[in-house]
């Protein structure tokens, strides 16, 4: 299974709609980095509205992907993290401190815009 990555001007948009298994998550990491390289994207929004659970493995993959993208010059914003998912992450002690977040796709794009202008 592969997660589709959409291109919108300088940005990449990803909406994760499936229950992520480990392989899919790792595959996604690789696909996204390749796409950033290929398109020279300035920003990425990963929307997690439909994701019902993030465990420590997937949290690590997401945290890594943000860091790796930053190294490649693309800012990443995570959007739509559900209350249950947020609380579970906090309970587990996973803060994702360096990761920018926004409520939804729209605000995520706004945030990218601001950060890139600043």
Partner 1 sequence: MSVQSNVEVHSEWGIVSARQAGRNLAKELGFGGVDQARITTAISELARNIYLYAEKGEIVLEGIEKKEAGGVHRGLRIVAKDQGPGIKSVREVMEDGYTTSGGLGAGLPGVKRLMDEFDIDSITGEGTVITVVKWLR
Partner 2 sequence: MQPSVIEMINSYRDEVIAQWKKEITQVQEGEFNHTVPEAVFNETNKEFVELILHTLELKQNEAKEHLRSFTERLIHTGWPLSYFTKGLQVFRRVLLELMTSNDALPSKKVYETFSEVESWIDGIINQLVDEYSGSWENTLHLQKLALKELSAPLIPVFEKISVMPLVGTIDTERAKLIMESLLEGIIEHRSQVVLIDITGVPVVDTMVAHHIIQAAEAVRLVGAKCILVGIRPEIAQTIVNLGIDLGKFSTKSSLRKGIESGLELTHRKIVSV
Q: Is 117 in the site for partner 2 (CB under 8 A)?
A: no
Q: Which residues contact 52 (CB under 8 A, 6 or more apart)?
A: 19, 82, 84, 85
Binding mask 73-102 for partner 2 (x = CB under 8 A): -----xxxxxx-xxx-xx----xx----xx
Helix ranges, the chain (H) = 22-39, 56-71, 83-92, 105-117
> Contacts with partner 2: how many residues (CB under 8 A)?
19
56 makes contact, choosing from partner 2, partner 1, none, with CB < 5 to 8 Å by partner type, with partner 1
Q: Is 2 in the site for partner 1 (CB under 8 A)?
A: no
Instruction: Say how far apart CA 72 and CA 42 lie, in whole Å.
Output: 9
Which candidate, 5, 76, 90, places its Cα nearest to that of 45?
A: 76
Instruction: Say how far apart CA 115 and CA 92 lie, in whole Å.
Output: 29
Q: Which residues contact 9 (CB under 8 A, 6 or more apart)?
A: none
19 makes contact, choosing from partner 2, partner 1, none, with CB < 5 to 8 Å by partner type, with partner 1
Q: Is 29 in the site for partner 1 (CB under 8 A)?
A: no
Q: Which of residues 39-98 bind partner 1 (CB under 8 A)?
A: 52-57, 59-60, 82-85, 87-88, 91-94
Interacting residues toward partner 1 by CB under 8 A:
19, 21-23, 52-57, 59-60, 82-85, 87-88, 91-94
């Amino acid at each position: 299974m592969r997660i589709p990555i959409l291109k919108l001007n300088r940005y990449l948009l990803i909406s994760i709609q499936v229950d992520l298994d480990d392989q899919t998550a790792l595959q996604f990491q690789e696909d996204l980095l390749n796409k950033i390289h290929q398109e020279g994207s300035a920003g990425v929004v990963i929307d997690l509205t439909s994701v019902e659970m993030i465990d420590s493995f997937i949290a690590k993959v997401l945290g890594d992907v943000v860091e790796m993208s930053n190294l490649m010059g693309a800012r990443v914003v995570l959007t739509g993290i559900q209350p249950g998912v947020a609380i579970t992450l906090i309970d587990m002690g996973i803060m994702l401190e360096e990761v920018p977040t926004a409520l939804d796709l729209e605000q995520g794009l706004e945030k990218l815009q601001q950060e890139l202008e600043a």
